[in-house]
Amino acid sequence: MKKILISFFLPIVIFANSCTLPSDIKSLIVKSGLISLKNYSDIKRNYRSLKGLCVDLISFKEGRFNWKMLLIFNPKAPRGAFWFLPHDNENSAFNSAVYATRKYGGGFLSVVAGGNRYFKGQDPNRNFSDSSVRVCSGQLAPSPIYTSIVFSIINNFRGVNMPYLALHNNTNRGGITILKSSKYAKSFLAYSVAEVKKGIGLADEDSLVYIAGSSFNPPIQKISTLIHLGLNVKYEIVNRNSNDCSMSNYVVIGRGSNNYYNIEAQHGKSVTQKRMIDLLMRLIR
């Protein structure tokens, strides 16, 4: 009789615990659940789409920075594509991450900074380094705790062989554009320059996927696959001298990996950004 009871109740217990996190991540949670987080504008805007997903606010302290981040994942398939969103002013990226999490499982970690790009003067995407001394000009203080917590959360959810993933929004014809190349960031266009200049959808100069590596020779195979999918590509060449403590630089230098994709789309262009996610998922799933 005892045996029958156990086998009958076990699946129910597993289901009830589907938003459960490993103890090291659980210990960072300050608020849990959609209702208690509904006043955050990213949550409010996506409230209906977030139903059925696990939603937690985590917090940790490093020096004068009391970091807060929203951790959102799909309880039906928690392991998979897991995105990092460092910039709280990039609302379309957040909307796109909710879409990706619902559709493909996995989840994302999004920095909370009152809707701003910077948190207390620090760009969250210039804050990655294991070092106990400051190594980048964009970094106000050493950040080994920030780096280790963000990456332990990413690695908890990142599926086997899944790349490190980021989502960003940029400004129309701003500093980031596929029409410009530099010594450390090479552009590869999926469309003719005339098509790119029309500024529509995937071809827009602001729609691009960043990849990164340490070699001055671009990974031609990977680039050509992305271009065939219809994605403009920027290859970032990373080395210790040019290290800017961004996530891409840390993945290459700190984690010894070239398996990184950052999907960039213009502010407000979440339809395009979701389309870009669908295309990239064909490649990395």
Shortest spacing between CB 225 and Zn ion, in angstroms = 24
Interface positions with Zn ion (CB under 5 A): 87, 168
The angle that helices 270-284 and 220-229 make with each other, rounded to 10 degrees, is 130
274: nearest Cα among 148, 101, 145, 155: 101
**Residue in the shown chain whose Cβ atom is closest to Zn ion:** 168
From CA 166, how far away is CA 260, in angstroms rounded? 8
Give the residue with the Cβ less far from Zn ion, 168 or 275: 168
Give the residue with the Cβ less far from Zn ion, 74 or 170: 170
In 64-207, DSSP assigns E strands to 65-73, 82-85, 107-111, 164-170, 185-188
Shortest spacing between CB 26 and Zn ion, in angstroms = 28
Tokens of 21: 């996190």
- Alpha-carbon dihedral angle through residues 47, 204, 116, 145, given to the nearest 10 degrees: 90
Tokens of 121: 């003067």
Residue 92 burial (C-beta neighbours within 10 Å; 0-12, 13-18, 19+):
buried
From CA 69, how far away is CA 119, in angstroms rounded? 11
Q: How far is CA 164 from the centre of its chain?
A: 8
Give the residue with the Cβ less far from Zn ion, 168 or 269: 168
Shortest spacing between CB 83 and Zn ion, in angstroms = 12
Residue 56 burial (C-beta neighbours within 10 Å; 0-12, 13-18, 19+):
buried
Give the residue with the Cβ less far from Zn ion, 74 or 96: 96
Give the residue with the Cβ less far from Zn ion, 246 or 259: 246
Give the residue with the Cβ less far from Zn ion, 78 or 234: 234
Shortest spacing between CB 267 and Zn ion, in angstroms = 10
Shortest spacing between CB 265 and Zn ion, in angstroms = 11
Shortest spacing between CB 236 and Zn ion, in angstroms = 14
